[in-house]
Structure 1
């Protein structure tokens, strides 16, 4: 069965994740991480893609991206991914694929969910028990959002900039937001929408996506649909 086209809309952020094949490491040291950031920044600049949040884990990456044209996010990530794999294989004396198929992506409702996804991304190292606090992890956008760095890879999303009147206020608000209790259902919801590559947001947002793209945007129910009898009733009901 052919794959459905990605859900992409101009200006609407996409939560993207890409993993190493068989969950293998895609970064062996800091030089690898530096190089990935360089090729990602170059590719995103070339294709007009903004990076709003990121985290580089050992065997996968999470990104929040947006663009004003459909299709350019895929082009940018393809360019960055190919350049990175070539350099990684040459440096580490290996050959073959590094990525586990194509990246996964989920559209994100900017108004209600973008901040939640950014927090989800930056808390990844904490959930993985790699660090106690997100700012203890070097390879993420958290330091720019907390005002302790200014990463040239990053373009803060408008919803982050709307947290306060100036960047210092945004940083303080973000510090409070990161330290607020995280609802496990929120984490599960973000993961579910990524797994099915649907549109994370309110029903009104999902309806807009479905109307614009002619594709389903909400989660599919788990399991197979019930068999129907000729009279229309469900078998076993």
Structure 2
């Protein structure tokens, strides 16, 4: 990667993701996954998109791409439309398959080390199956680019592998160690951002401002679903802003275990819900002092 990525919204490097509507499965068979990959590759060739990293999960997908000529939105819209039409025919259903607009996280736009930003995002994507697979079998997960990088499966011609390989010295052992060794970034969706130590009140302020809600709405539990509160709890815990006991009091949760469960729910939402992922990204940008348009 070498140099900083261009800041135009449709150009450069992006981690893109989306999930099934109402958190439903978007893949119910291996055929679905193969069709998705075929549609993704066809659209990438049409719009000049480089696919560097990907992982398909039951309810969502992750792809890291480089868009040297732009066309990010056209690329995603095209393969998502084509896949959804075929999926509905195969499963005899109607209506949308994916939730709203996809999430796209720019990689390295404001970082002094864009290579590190790319590697952190690639590691996050490749680790997704660890939610249900033991670490020693991750290299056998068929619907991810990770086996191609490890050399446990042939790399398809459409997968651009030279960037990540060069950053790892073309050493599969080094890549495996980087991917599987626990790191602090496992607990925060910061995508390589450098965030100075923040007080929990600063995190809550950032989430409230990003969500357009009052700070009090994040402190107190409500009977209806409160995604902003869950995201704030997750970020406060993952950024280690205070002790669990202090955070439990701040969020008006009776026990420390109760707060840990609250934060875990927020972490899951950020991973699978595009709107919550965008909220977390906006809040993190505020903490970094980044004013990102849109």
Is this a same-fold pair by TM over 0.5?
yes
Count of residues in correspondence between the two structures: 191
CA gap 1:67/1:157 in 2 versus in 1, 3 angstroms: farther
> Structure 2: any 5+ residue segments left out of the alignment?
1-6, 109-113, 196-204, 216-294
How far 1:202 moved relative to its partner? 4.9
Q: Is the contact between residue 112 and residue 201 of structure 1 (CA under 8 Å) also seen in structure 2?
A: no
- The structure with higher relative contact order (CA 8 Å, sep 6+) is 1
Following superposition of structure 1 onto structure 2, how do residues 108-119 of structure 1 map, counting pairs within 5 Å? 108-109=107-108, 110-119=114-123
Per-residue displacement from partner, 1:7-40 (whole Å, max 9, x unpaired)?
Answer: 72633x1011110000000000000000000000
**Stretches of 4+ moved more than 3 A in 1?**
130-133, 200-203
Report what 2:25 is aligned to. Answer: 25
1:129 aligns with 2:132: yes
Higher helix share: 2
Structure 2 distance, partners of 1:180, 1:139, is 21
Equivalent residue for 1:95? Answer: 94
How far does residue 147 in structure 1 lie from its aligned partner after superposition?
1.7
How far apart, in 2, do the equivalents of 1:89 and 1:10 lie?
31
CA contact (8 A) 1:50 1:154 kept: yes
Output the TM-score relative to the length of structure 1.
Answer: 0.72
What do you get for the CA RMSD once the two structures are aligned? Answer: 2.5
Deviations 1:124-157 (A, max 9, x none): 010x224444213211000111122212331125
Alpha carbons of structure 1 residues 100 and 157: separation in structure 2 relative to 1, 3 Å: farther
Structure 1 142/46 Cα, relative in aligned 2: closer, same or farther at 3 Å?
A: same
SS at match of 2:105: strand
TM-score (norm 2): 0.59
